[in-house]
Amino acid sequence: MGAHGRIHNFGAGPAVLPLEVVNEFSEALPNLGGSGFGLLEVSHRSGTFQEVIDSAVRRLRKILSVPDEYEVLFLQGGASTQFYMTALNLMGKMGKADFLVTGGWSQKALDEAAKVGDAVAAWDDSKNGFKSVPKNGSYSVREDSDYLHYTSNNTLFGTQFHSLPDSQGKPRVVDASSDICGMPIDVSEHDVIYAGAQKNLGPSGVTVVILSPWAAGRPEEGIPTMLDYRTHINKGSMFNTPNTSGIYVLDRVLAWMERNGGLEGAIERNQKKADTLYGLMDGSDFWRPHASKDSRSMMNVTWRLADEGLEGSFLTEAEENGMGGLRGHRSVGGIRASIYNACPLESVETLASFMSDFESRHG
Ligand SMILES: *Cc1c(COP(=O)(O)O)cnc(C)c1O
């Protein structure tokens, strides 16, 4: 157990937040920044809240080096709404889009886009159990496609792109829900980046959307108001009432990142955490990591035990020892440790030493 009786939280999302941020949130509840208004009670039209949202946009732009001409939005409806919204805005009924299907989330994104226009899988690894992401050259994007969609980190299966997928000259759209601000990304190589905040950036109920000038200016007509990117661009993410407290937490998480070495600091810590777990598993036949080596996720580490019959006791004992959220997603089974930015190295070291101990007792 950590401070305040908190468990080592390996949950996939909503996920652990920095304790400093949790404390700032509870201090802001009765009175936000000395304004006299409580965090849940302040108008989104107030100067106090305008400062919060401006600050969050500014910090995100800086951390990700977002080009000035790109738009940064904080919307609602989760990444799941973006599956449809991106398609609606970027291709419309007459358009085409190609998808790299690397797991459950990219399949859902494709299914939604197919309700809008002609969307197909350029690559689909379901028959191999989604153990890896495609190499450049192993798929082709249709000549007349409007964009290529990919999922940078596959949260369920624990795979991740470690280099930019070749879009063969087409715009790139990425669902970066589970690795935004936790991996290097060249924003200028993308036209849409979207991410539910609840994994790497803060609480549920806020969706980050970053749009290139091309994506912001698509001329599709007849889009319902709330699903039209231009609505939200024109009103600075405040066409309707945004998730005010969620945006506050997002700003605090970004400030915490800035105090801890920014994006580079986060990547360095994430690498160390991932190496700790993969290194331990590579040293023994007791563990069976799911992902192929070259596609391993630094954010969601997934594995089975060679003796699958021991997985139940692994999870029970882990919980008895103060570690929670480790049950694998039902599509893979086994174990999944989500080790996003805010998961401390100490939690990962605690897990690794529990694993060694478990192996010595059952191996
Ligand atoms: C969690 C997750 C989603 C779903 O996000 P919601 O905000 O719940 O809609 C989509 N894509 C990826 C990659 C995810 O990890």
Q: DSSP for 142-180?
A: -TT-SEEEEESEETTTTEE-SSPPP-TTS-EEEE-TTTT
- Exposed (0-12), middle (13-18) or buried (19+): which is 4, by Cβ within 10 Å? exposed
Regarding the beta carbon of 201 and ligand 1, being less than 6 Å apart is answered no
Structure tokens belonging to residue 212: 């290139």
Percentage of the residues of the chain whose pLDDT score is greater than 90: 93
| Best of 76, 80, 99, 193 for a ligand 1 pocket test (most atoms within 8 Å of beta carbon) | 80
pLDDT in tens, 138-187: 999 999 999 999 999 999 999 999 999 999 999 999 999 999 999 999 99
Give me the pLDDT at residue 222, please.
86
Active site residues: 105, 175, 199
Sheet holding 96-101, edge to edge: 71-75, 207-211, 192-196, 172-175, 147-151, 96-101, 118-124
Query: Where does the pLDDT of residue 363 fall: very low under 50, low under 70, confident under 90, or very high at 90 and above?
Result: confident
Q: How far is CA 139 from CA 7, 122, 153, 166, 193, in A?
A: 43, 6, 18, 9, 22
Q: Position 111: which residue type?
A: D
Query: How many A from CA of 79 to the centre of ligand 1?
Result: 5
Residue nearest to atom 10 of ligand 1 (CA): 79
Nearest to 136 by CA among 97, 98, 163, 155: 163
Instruction: Give the tens place of pLDDT for each residue, 240-261.
Output: 999 999 999 999 999 999 999 9
- 71 SS3 class: strand
What's the one-letter identity of residue 151?
Answer: T
From the CA of 103, give the closest atom in ligand 1.
Answer: 13
In sequence order, which residues have a C-beta less than 8 Å from that of residue 51 and are 6 or more positions away?
none
Residue 1 has pLDDT above 70, yes or no: no
Q: Is residue 326 within 8 Å of residue 336, measured between CB atoms?
A: yes
Asked if 25 and 52 touch (Cβ cutoff 8 Å), the reply is no
Q: Report H helices in the chain.
A: 19-28, 47-63, 78-90, 104-113, 213-216, 229-234, 244-259, 262-282, 311-320, 345-362
How many angstroms separate the CA atoms of 251 and 245, rounded? Answer: 10
DSSP conformation class of 296: B
203 lines ligand 1 (CB under 6 A): no
Model pTM score: 0.97
Tell me phi and psi for residue 167, to 5 degrees: -100, 5
Any atom of ligand 1 within 6 Å of the Cβ of 107? no
Q: For 291-333, what is each residue's pLDDT tens digit?
A: 999 999 999 999 999 999 999 999 999 999 999 999 999 888 9
The percentage of the chain sitting over the pLDDT mark of 70, rounded to a whole number, equals: 99
| CA–CA separation, 237 and 227 (whole Å) | 12
Q: What is the mean pLDDT of residues 257-272?
A: 98
237 Cβ below 6 A of ligand 1? no
Q: Is the pLDDT of residue 3 over 70?
A: no
Is 3:19 a contact under the CB 8 Å cutoff?
Answer: yes
Domains of the chain with bracketed CATH = 23-259 (3.40.640.10), 261-362 (3.90.1150.10)
* Secondary structure (3-state) at 196: strand
CA atoms within 13 A on the CB side of 282: 11
- Contacts (Cβ under 8 Å, ≥6 apart) of 299: 153, 155, 160, 178, 179, 182, 183, 199, 200, 270, 338, 339, 340
Residues 285-292: what's their mean pLDDT?
A: 97
Say how many residues make up the chain.
363
Pairing assessment for the beta strands 153-154 and 287-289 based on DSSP bridges? unpaired
Q: Supply the mean pLDDT for the chain.
A: 96
Return phi, psi of residue 240, to 5°.
-120, 180
- The pLDDT assigned to 95 comes to 93
Res 19: pLDDT: 96
For the segment 212-223, what is each residue's pLDDT rounded down to a tens digit?
A: 999 999 867 789
Model confidence at 2, in pLDDT bands (50, 70, 90)? Answer: low
